[in-house]
Structure 1
Amino acid sequence: MAETIRRPGLDPQGFIAREGSLARVPDAFRPAVAAARDQLSAAFGARLHSAYLYGSIPRGTARVGRSDLDLFVALREEPAEADREAVRALGAAVDKEFPQIDGVGTLLYGRDRLLSDLERYDLGWFVACLCTPLLGDDLAEYLPRYRPDSLLARETNGDLALWLPRWRERIAAAEDTEEARRPLVRFMSRHLVRTGFTLVMPRWNGWTSDLREMAEVCGRYYPERAAQLRTAAEHGHEPVGDAQVLRSHVDDLGPWLAAEYTRVHGVKAPRPEWAGASTPAGTR
């Protein structure tokens, strides 16, 4: 009988295990987390449904002076522009006060959207599996458990083809300097590696948030793209300001990945914001 392979990131029943915890937050980052928690509570009061950490800090892999503080905030109603300005100001204040973090990024949504059928296998999954509760009533209690299947793959990253034209616009609008290109390289490299991983996630049957491991896993199924994916993972950690890297992302690796994703998993259910002028939240 063939041995059953148990992949990382799953619980004994084969569901994706929630990653991260407050206990894993490195000591150097605890003051910044505490300040963010207190300021979120003060800023939104009873309108705040819940708040979460995600990313390297609750996973315990953050690097002092290099990692950002990632926050996910759920309000009891849909946020207004004033709410978005409030989290931008909060993030700037925390970033200025604590040199151990390299920026603060905050995703802000209303509770009803996060629990909607449309977002159940995207934002809902993100909260339930990749976010660590910081304040309030945990939305994961109202969401299902998730397996690393094709439905999850489609609804998390099956919209890359829609992103690519907007990426090209961002590249064209950026200043022609290495400093201006570096954050674009970091952002797009991470998005492509994560999309490559979820492309093969159902076959691999596991979960990881480690960019290098994501690239290696995808490269096993697409060896002709393995070197590109490994390089993109490195640029996700240590970005360069090379215009050629950006061109390769939007003219080669990105279009191939978008087409293969559609072939294998189909297209993500459309979101209303794609039809309007607003820009959806960035890759998570």
Structure 2
Amino acid sequence: MVLEKVIKEINIQSEYKSFVEEYTACLLSEFSGKVHSIYMCGSIPKGTAKPFKSDADFTIVCERPEDIDYDRVSCLKDQILQKYRLVTKVDTVICSLDDVRSKPNEWGFWIKIICVCIHGTDIGEEVPPILISPEFILDLNSDTQEAVDRVRGFLSNANDETLKSRYIKGYSKRLIRALYTLVLEDTGVWQDDITKMKSAISDYCNIDSALVDYLYACYLDSNVDVEEFLGIAEEVYSYIEKALTALMEESSVIK
């Protein structure tokens, strides 16, 4: 089964258009000649963003990521957020043309399926059709353990309540996303709506639904006890880890 693009056409709401245009122009001006293309994903390009609730997700594709000074990107993000307060946060990911071309089930998937091109030539069109398979699901989760370990460490050491809330929300989303990858062969589509992800997990995954409900509740309202959250998160990740190990063994047998 071939995955289809999440956002088939750009539909940016009027209140976000000047924000997207200005931030894009700032990136192109700051890194003149170094940017191949710029992409967005999430609610803003889909036309479902909610002022003062939705964030913005950009991806810069370039020949050499080291040419893009991330400190300067951070400064540009801070400046644009001061002007456009209806946007809660701006995330900007940087990857190379080679990443997209050589890692079709990772960066290729991100650019071809999740994102939509808002400037430049869409490198995602060079990525071959992406087939849902055990190998693809394993590739999608190749960095899950690293990401989970990193966020767990941040959360365990965070003293600021705002940071704790952000890490809990991010950790919850990451685990729900990983659980969703386990049911991709059942759904046949990639969902970027976390509510729909949760629904599909409930329909097709045999994990205790109470654990998924808890993560979803934490994603919506992350004002929870950190120790309790970490315990539940560990239980969920243990399930994911076992499922991925079984998938790896199954894939090895098929080969």
Q: TM-score, normalised by structure 2?
A: 0.89
Partner residue in 1 for 2:165: 182
Q: Does 1:200 pair with 2:186?
A: no
Distance change in 2, residues 1:235/1:31 (3 Å)? farther
Quote how far apart the aligned CAs of 1:42 are: 0.6
Mapped partners of 1:65, 1:19: distance in 2: 24
Partner residue in 2 for 1:257: 240
Quote how far apart the aligned CAs of 1:109 are: 1.6
Quote how far apart the aligned CAs of 1:152 are: 2.0
Distance change in 2, residues 1:260/1:178 (3 Å)? same
Partner residue in 1 for 2:146: 162
Partner residue in 2 for 1:146: 130
Aligned counterpart for 2:16 among listed residues 4, 29, 32? 29
Q: How many residues align?
A: 250
Contact 2:44–2:56 at 8 Å: present in 1 too?
yes
Mapped partners of 1:245, 1:29: distance in 2: 38
Mapped partners of 1:171, 1:237: distance in 2: 17
Aligned counterpart for 1:55 among listed residues 26, 42, 46? 42
Contact 2:55–2:87 at 8 Å: present in 1 too?
yes
SS across alignment from 1:72: strand
Matches within 5 A, 1:123-142: 123-142=107-126
SS across alignment from 1:49: strand
Matches within 5 A, 1:102-141: 102-116=88-102, 119-141=103-125
Partner residue in 1 for 2:252: none
Mapped partners of 1:125, 1:164: distance in 2: 20
Contact 2:182–2:205 at 8 Å: present in 1 too?
no
Unaligned runs of 5+ in 2: 250-255
CA RMSD of aligned residues (A): 2.2
Q: TM-score, normalised by structure 1?
A: 0.80
Q: Does 1:211 pair with 2:198?
A: no
Q: Does 1:99 pair with 2:82?
A: no
Deviations 1:162-188 (A, max 9, x none): 33433332122211x532310011100
Distance change in 2, residues 1:245/1:215 (3 Å)? farther
Judge which range, 120-129 or 256-265, deviates more: 256-265
Partner residue in 2 for 1:171: 155
Contact 1:79–1:108 at 8 Å: present in 2 too?
no
Partner residue in 1 for 2:253: none
Quote how far apart the aligned CAs of 1:98 are: 0.1
Deviations 1:163-219 (A, max 9, x none): 3433332122211x5323100111001100110000111133222111111112112
Quote how far apart the aligned CAs of 1:21 are: 5.5
Deviations 1:62-104 (A, max 9, x none): 2110111110001122325x61112111111111110110011
The ranges of structure 1 where at least 4 consecutive aligned residues each deviate by more than 4 angstroms after the TM superposition are none
Distance change in 2, residues 1:51/1:226 (3 Å)? same
Contact 2:6–2:114 at 8 Å: present in 1 too?
yes
Letter in 2 for 1:67: S
Quote how far apart the aligned CAs of 1:262 are: 2.2
